[in-house]
Amino acid sequence: MVTNTLTDQIIKAGKSLIKELEESGIKVDSALWFNYQEEGSWKLMLSFSNIEEEGPKAAYKKVQKALSNVQEKNMIFLDDIVIVEPNTRLIQSLKRAFNKCKDITISNSVIDGQLISGAHIYTL
């Protein structure tokens, strides 16, 4: 389980999971680690364009399967992952602010009126 520290190994494990998802034919629209400060933990936030069609249960099953193929199996667990729709306010705000950026880390920022205590953005 990912705690309140986002390490380089966890960032690498997230990148491996995204690669595994895409190699299995799943288009990842957005992927980022997000610091849920009130929980004291980081979650890997993923969005897929077809989540509305298939539903979140099917998306979590695909992620679970991909997790079993990731080399860094013990770095990320399904509990560390949050699947959101691509049109959520947070994703849309981050896209407007960081659309062309990849693999960047931000902290203590206010974006579109939302406090972002920490995030590592793979892709938006």
What radius of gyration, in Å, describes the C-alpha atoms of the chain? 14
For the stretch 35-57, what's the b/e string if a residue is b when 16 or more beta carbons lie within 10 angstroms of its beta carbon?
A: beeeeebbbbbbbbeebeeeeee
Res. 123: pLDDT tops 60: yes
Query: Average pLDDT of the chain?
Result: 89
Q: Please give the pLDDT value at position 53.
A: 76
Q: Where are the domains of the chain?
A: 15-106
DSSP 44-80: EEEEETTHHHH-HHHHHHHHHHHHHH-S-TTT--GGG
CATH architecture of 15-106: 2-Layer Sandwich (3.30)
- Residues written for the chain: 124
- What is the number of other CB atoms lying within 10 angstroms of the CB of residue 9? 10
**pLDDT one-digit tens code per residue, 50-108:** 766 778 888 899 999 999 988 877 789 999 999 998 889 999 999 999 887 889 999 99
